[in-house]
Amino acid sequence: MTTATLPSDTGSTAQTPGHGQFALLKQRRFAPFFWTQFLGAANDNLFKFAFTVLVTYQLQIGWLPASLAGLVIGALFILPFLLFSATSGQLADKLEKRSLMVFVKRLEIGIMALAAWGFFGQHIAVLLACTFLMGLHSTLFGPVKFAYLPQHLGERELTGGNGMVEMGTFVAILLGNVAGGLIIAVPEIGAHHVGFACVGLALLGRFASHYVPPTPATDPGLVINWNPVTETWRNLKLAYGNTVVFRSVLGISWMWFFGAVFLSLFPAFARDVLHGNEQVASLLLVVFSVGIGIGSLLCEVLSRRHVEIGLVPLGAIGMSVFAIDLYFATRGLPPAEVMALGAFLSVPAHARVLIDLALLSLFAGLYSVPMYALIQMRSQPTHRARIIAANNILNALFMIASAVVAGALLQLGFTIPQMFLAVGLANAVVAFYIFMLVPEYLLRFVAWVASRLVYRFKVRGDEHIPTEGAAVLVCNHVSFVDAVLIMAASPRPIRFLMDHRIFRQPLLGGLFRLAKAIPVAPQGEDPEAYEAAFARAAQALREGELLAIFPEGGITRDGQLQAFKGGVIKILERARADGLSIPVIPMGLTNLWGSFFSRIEERHGERVAMVRPFRRGLFNRVGLNAGAPAGAEGATPDGLRERVAALLA
């Protein structure tokens, strides 16, 4: 497990606490990169859309029918992702990233100059070649784009940075499409103006790339394998080697499958179902793009500036709910004449369609951004770009599969609303399958719900929780949900050493089994289970994981901090025997005593929990305070208890 290289590696400074993701736009480590990728995405889409309109509406090309023009242009643009992503991933790992970006932007200027000549003379074959070359340009830029961010952003900035990039990309797509359509429509000279605009954007992109800070190569000794077939297979194997990363790659690829269905059907959906003209089709694209952008930006707020993959199930649920509701919102629309934008907006039933589309895309933003950030954080820096290249390859394959499946279903007689229903239901099945394969998503979702919706949860000192390497977390034990709240505060998975009796609770027991918690029984009750638990704890530390223990040995029955037992010392002694020096992070949970999950109620002389659900009302304020780490040599039960007690004061 690894994180970003330090910002100091590139001469930048860390973001100060309290600054949001928009503050990154004022910093050299992010702003030039952001505008470089923004201008590239805008240029891609201005060129593609203008070219599509040219061959669809303005020219009659016998060998390129208007009905196939969009598909051919889209396929040519995607083809380089399949052919050259493996090579581009190697180049991004081997070479200094700023130099590679500058090269790609110079390449874009040459391609756009050739495209301008193609537009001036309406040379369709030249423009088709430029479509392929712009796909190659994007293929080269993709891995370096996502591999750049972890080298300049810390863990607390990675979600916000990815949200900004995702938002910027979709805004650029929207503006590029709108500008391409408007410019090419100018009578007689529209094609000339498109050529000038494409060259102008390429020059601006090259100018922005000049200010991108130097970014060292992560694997300068890599020997390039120029065979795209064998290297593609090798990249996929690299991604497959990390289960969480590979499942995230599949999840992102599925999102592109899901989104491609909607984007490809918008023109026909606007015309045949909503009875709107081209302006209505453009409105659908605007709503979809704005929704994605808002969802992407919300990720930082909802994640408290951590890589919070608990948002992924939330996003998947929203995508399915609103895709399915889109079917119900459109199936009863009466036949009508073709409407312009004003007439379309005056129909009350259309408001539900637009709201469904906006929320569907918003939740897609919540779904995708944490996955991108997780891939960046959990991938080995030496081959991070190659894993991102594998992601791009699978994304392209899933988008092609989306077109094939959508075409087949339409041929079988599916209506467009039925297509949306089918994709929404399929999304629910796929999401459930992924979350069962990688329970960490589901666990983080439960932790996110508990810390945002059940409680008002505030974390202090979370910078002391390590983002890489082994560590032991010690905390007071107040309630049955302590482990869930600690999970919510950590940017990475935690293995808990827990009393075996908690596994008898039907719901919580299943949750902690999914979290791979380690059950421990008292030594006098079951010596073999006791020793096995500490052996598993030692193994977790050897593998660089976070291990959490409640040293009191049980949930408090009076709300007071109890004496710490010697289990944590046993863990540290085993770690030292393995040659490890493990930091110990003290933590204190506050204001949980008296909540539904604490043992405040008394029944038949016993202190029990989970009796009165609303005994303190809703949205109680609770907190977690993390302290500076203690070295393993100085950690004693009494010393750690004093540290935890100080955090509760």
User: pLDDT tens digits, residue range 170-187?
Assistant: 889 888 888 888 888 787
Quote the pLDDT of residue 421.
93
Residue 12, domain member (yes or no): no
pLDDT score recorded for residue 3: 33
* Cβ neighbours, 10 Å, residue 353: 21
- Nearest CA-CA partner of 581 in 545, 541, 537, 632: 632
Q: Is residue 607 classed exposed, middle or buried when 0-12, 13-18 and 19+ CB atoms within 10 A define those classes?
A: middle
pLDDT greater than 60 at residue 14? no
Residues 273, 163 share a domain: no
**Cβ contacts of residue 173 below 8 Å, gap of 6+?**
41, 42, 45, 289
Q: Are strands 584-590 and 620-626 parallel, antiparallel or unpaired?
A: antiparallel
429 and 283 together in one domain: yes
Question: CA 112 to CA 115: how far, in whole Å?
Answer: 5
What mean pLDDT is predicted for residues 52-57?
A: 77
Q: What is the mean pLDDT of residues 419-438?
A: 88
CB 641 within 8 A of CB 564: yes
Whether residue 365 is found in the same domain as residue 473? no
Determine how many CB atoms are found less than 10 A away from the CB of residue 373: 30
Q: What count of other Cβ atoms lies within 10 Å of the Cβ of residue 614?
A: 7
Question: pLDDT at position 62, please?
Answer: 62
User: Residue 445 corresponds to which tokens in the numbers above?
Assistant: 């979702």
Tokens 């707020």: give the residue: 301
Instruction: State how far the Cα of 159 lies from the Cα of 310, in Å rounded to an integer.
Output: 12
Phi-psi region of 544 (alpha: psi -120 to 50; beta: other; left: phi over 0): left
Between the ranges 221-230, 422-431, 446-455, 591-600, where is the mean pLDDT highest? 422-431
Give the whole-angstrom CA distance, residue 325 versus residue 575. Answer: 54
Distance between CA 30 and CA 175 in Å, rounded?
Answer: 21
Q: Is 397 left (phi over 0), alpha (psi -120 to 50) or beta?
A: alpha
Average pLDDT estimate for 222-246? 84
The proportion of the chain whose per-residue pLDDT surpasses 70, expressed as a percent, equals 92
Mean pLDDT of 214-233: 87
Minimum mean pLDDT range among 1-15, 249-263, 323-337: 1-15
CB-CB contact of 370 with 311 (8 Å): yes
Mean pLDDT of 109-122: 93
| More confident of the two residues 260 and 587 | 587
Cα–Cα distance, 413 to 443 (Å, whole number): 40
**Number of folded domains that form the chain:** 3
State residue 67's pLDDT score: 57
Looking at residue 594, its pLDDT comes to 84
Residue 277 DSSP label: -
- Is 146 within 8 Å of 372 (Cβ atoms)? yes
Domain boundary among 226, 253, 274: 226
pTM: 0.78
In sequence order, what DSSP letters do the residues of 301-356 get, joined into one string? HHHTTS--TTHHHHHHHHHHHHHHHHHHHHTTPPP---B-HHHHHT-THHHHHHHH
CB 644 within 8 A of CB 586: yes
Q: Cβ distance 149 to 164 under 8 Å?
A: no
Is there a single domain that holds both residue 257 and residue 390?
yes
Structure tokens at 413: 């007689």
Q: Which of 437, 469, 486 is the last residue of a domain?
A: 437
Helix, strand, coil share (%) of the chain residues, nearest 5:
65, 10, 25
Q: What is the mean pLDDT of residues 486-513?
A: 79
Picking from 82, 180, 182, 74, the residue whose alpha carbon sits closest to that of residue 128 is: 74
Residue from 548, 587, 214, 253 nearest 400 by CA: 253
User: Based on the domain organization, do 283 and 212 belong to the same domain?
Assistant: no
Among residues 425, 431, 395, 399, the alpha carbon closest in space to that of 315 is found at: 431
* Site of tokens 């340009």: 137
Which residues contact residue 229 at a Cβ distance below 8 angstroms, ignoring those fewer than 6 apart?
none
CATH code, domain carrying 191: 1.20.1250.20
Is 442 within a domain?
A: no
55 falls within a domain: yes
DSSP H helical ranges for 95-154:
97-121, 124-152
Q: Which amino acid is at 447?
A: A
**Boundaries of domain holding 112:** 20-226
- Residue 632 pLDDT > 60: no
Which stretch, 144-158, 601-615, 629-643, has highest mean pLDDT? 144-158
> How much is the average pLDDT of 373-387?
83
Residue 15, in any domain of the structure: no
Which residues, 6 or more positions from 290, have their beta carbon under 8 angstroms from its beta carbon? Answer: 174, 358, 361
Mean pLDDT value across the chain: 84
Q: Are strands 606-608 and 546-549 parallel, antiparallel or unpaired?
A: unpaired
Q: How open is the CA angle 640-155-297, to the nearest 5 degrees?
A: 130
Burial of residue 409 (number of CB atoms within 10 Å: 0-12, 13-18, 19+):
middle
CATH number for the domain that contains residue 505: 3.40.1130.10
Residue with tokens 């497990």: 1
242 and 221 in a single domain? The answer is no
Domain final residue pick, 402, 437, 472:
437
Residue of 9, 322, 13, 20 lying closest to 163 (CA atoms): 20
For the chain, report the end-to-end CA distance as a whole number of angstroms: 34
**588 in a structural domain:** yes
Same domain as 353, residue 466: no
User: What percent of the chain is predicted at pLDDT more than 90?
Assistant: 23
Mutual angle of helices 190-209 and 155-184, in 10-degree steps: 160
473 torsion bin: left (phi>0), alpha (psi -120 to 50), beta (else): beta
Both 122 and 250 in one domain: the answer is no
80 part of a folded domain: yes
Looking up tokens 């390590």 gives 466
- 550 dihedral zone (left: phi>0; alpha: psi -120 to 50; beta): beta
What does the chain come to in residues? 649
134 in the same domain as 212: yes
Q: Same domain, yes or no, for 264 and 158?
A: no
- Please indicate, yes or no, whether residues 396 and 247 belong to a single structural domain of this protein: yes
Q: Is residue 471 part of a domain?
A: yes
- Residue 28, both tokens: 């050299």
Same domain, 520 and 608: yes
pLDDT value for 617: 62
Give burial (CB, 10 Å; 0-12/13-18/19+) of 438: buried
3-class SS of residue 43: helix
Considering the domain boundaries, does residue 512 fall inside one? yes
Q: What local confidence, expressed as pLDDT, does residue 63 receive?
A: 64
Return the residue matching tokens 């596994």.
503
Residue 200's Cα: distance from chain center in Å?
Answer: 32
